[in-house]
Every structure is written in C-alpha cells, then in structure tokens.
Amino acid sequence: MKHSTFPVQKIATSKLSSINFDNLKFGRDFSDHMLLAEYNDEIWKTPQILPYQPLELFPAASVFHYGQAIFEGLKAHKNDAGEVFIFRADENFKRLNSSAARMSMPEIPEDIFMDGLMQLIELDKDWIPVGDGMSLYLRPFMIADDPFLGVKPSGSYKFMIITSPSASYYSGAVKVKIESHYSRAAVGGVGAAKAAGNYAASLLPAKKAQEEGYDQLIWTDAKNHQYLEESGTMNLMLVKGKKVLTPPLDSKTILPGITRKSILQLAEEWGYEVMERPITVTELVEGIEDNSISELFGVGTAATIAPISVVGYKDNQLQLPDYTKWEFSNKVKQYLEELKTGKVKDTHNWIETL
C-alpha cells in the first residue's frame, strides 16, 4: 500500500535537552512537533506537521460551547536497540471514527490518521523514553472550531496529534469505590464514544471518592446502579476460577477498549473461559467476600492493567488478596508489555515497527 507523506515545518531548536527523562510524569511534557489537519467545506485539507505550539481559535468556536471533542490514546515504545513499536493503531483509528460518527463529526481518512501518526513518531522518535513503563504517549484528537453559536454540528474541525514522553499512569494497586449515585453513561448516551465530555462529567464523582480515600470509582448502570460498567477511565475485568469476566458492550454505555479486546483474545487463547456478560454489584461483593473472585483489575492503554486492592461499597471496605500473586493479570500484563517492546514475537499482527 502506498503511504502518504505530509509537509513538515521543523522546530528551529529542539526542546529535547530541556526534558528530564529520569523524572517523567504522565502527559506533562510534549515533543517538538504536532500534526494538524483542518476540515471545512466538507473536506479534510492536507495535514501539516508543525512545531508544537498554541492554537488560535475564536472564542465562539463551537467546541467551547457545545463540546464536540473526541480523542484517542496509544503509545509508542522503544527498545534498547532503538527499534520503535506501536500497538494496534488501526484500532484507535477505527474507534476515533466511531466516536466521530456518534458526535456528528466528520470521519478522518485513514492516511491522515495512520500515515500522519507514523510520520510524526518517526520525526520525534528521539523523544520516546526507554525503560520500564516508559513510552511516548500519543494523543490524536478532534475538535469543532466553527465560530458560530447556533446549536448544530460544526462546519469546521481540527484533527491533531500531539505526543508526550511519559511514565506509567498508575503504579501499584488502586482503591475503588462502587458509585451508586452518579453515572458515567446511560443507554442511548455517548458512553461508547471517547468523547471529552465523558471525562469532564467523571471529575466531580472521582474527586468526591478521592476525598473519601479512594483512587477511583467503579461505575454502575445509570438506571439502578446494580450492574458494573467501567472502573475510572478503564474497562473492568475479574477472574473467577478459570473464567475471565467483563461487562458486555451491547448497551453502548461502555468504551470498547483496545486493551480490553486484546486481553479477552489472549485469555481465550490461554484456555480461560471468557464471559462478556452483565455482572451485578452483588456478585462482585459476594465474590470478594467468599474469595471466589481471585483477581479484579482495570484495563486500559494508559495503565495496561491496574490491579484493584480495595472495593468500597456502602460502609464496607472489601479487601482483595495480594495482587502480586495474581496469575492471569500479571501474566497478561507482562505479555503485553513484552509484546509492546518487541521482546516477544508478534503472532497476532498487532505491532507496527518503525
């Protein structure tokens, strides 16, 4: 397949030497360049790669008022030999376009997303940190920028990719509270889209949980708060005997995670029984109490796996066993991390190498 190459305006002086690679956080520093594509008159114009810089937007730009904004997150890893690996970017491309469809935004052509992404990574590959949990976090996103206050889909958009040398998002296990008042998503809403507003709406409930000593929430269904949905910004999974369980996607209230999909496939290949089915709060609580649930964890791009050590429900704090001994989640985390850094053979065709 022929690949597109887009025009590049290089930064005059790289900022690379000003970054302390020994003290990286998640998403704080940004590499030298960004990709910008603009859409108007119903077509995407040729994107450009530019120095990372502020945007110029009118105060009336519709993203500020009606929130048409979607994003993706994925990572580039580098090994000691300088080879670069990118995990399942085609899945992020597809998901961005399904988020776009739900938010009445235009779909992105594949060459702008995929070729633009690879060209940007190649240009800034010196920014990819090497080491445990380190990556160049890639953030494609789209915003509506029509300066018009009428409530309708914007006529113009910007698609951009920025990249951030980052350390892991979480370290160690997290304490989560089962949320039984606020909701992340309702049937018919936008829970399956990676829409910026979903994250905005999660901030207050998450802050309240943090004030009670938790790290994050387990979201439950909006109707009765009886069924488990997601955990924080991640999908939720649990292990019961030889079964790996996760809530199903059919209500469209749950983000179709790429890490989720990959882990379910691996679980099946490794002989676990995979069950995408509704899981009640009662099943979770009883399963922790009677030790039939052996592992409980969040899964997502940023953390890969975030083991859960404590679940708060009503006035109880339910304790899970020591996560360092969990068989499935530790094995899958190690496998995915080795795959993403080129240490194990890519038998699924999930990795792009630069």
Which spans of this chain sit near ligand COI (rule: CB under 6 A)?
Answer: 73, 233-234, 300-303
Decide: 299 and 237 in contact? Cβ < 8 Å: yes
Decide: 105 and 112 in contact? Cβ < 8 Å: no
Residue number with the shortest CB distance to ligand COI?
Answer: 300
Whichever of 206 and 303 has its CB closer to ligand COI, that residue is 303
Residue 67 CB, nearest approach to ligand COI (Å): 16
Residue 26 CB, nearest approach to ligand COI (Å): 7
Residue 202 CB, nearest approach to ligand COI (Å): 10
Residue 166 CB, nearest approach to ligand COI (Å): 10
Structure tokens at 292: 């039939």
Taking alpha carbons only, the member of 343, 350, 174, 341 closest to residue 263 is 350
Whichever of 146 and 260 has its CB closer to ligand COI, that residue is 260
The residue length of the chain stands at 354
Whichever of 71 and 148 has its CB closer to ligand COI, that residue is 71
The C-alpha R_g of the chain, in whole angstroms, comes to 21
Residue 300 CB, nearest approach to ligand COI (Å): 2
C-alpha to C-alpha distance for 110 and 112, rounded to whole angstroms: 6
Whichever of 97 and 233 has its CB closer to ligand COI, that residue is 233
C-alpha to C-alpha distance for 124 and 283, rounded to whole angstroms: 47
Structure tokens at 72: 């993706």
Decide: 191 and 223 in contact? Cβ < 8 Å: no
Whichever of 140 and 287 has its CB closer to ligand COI, that residue is 140
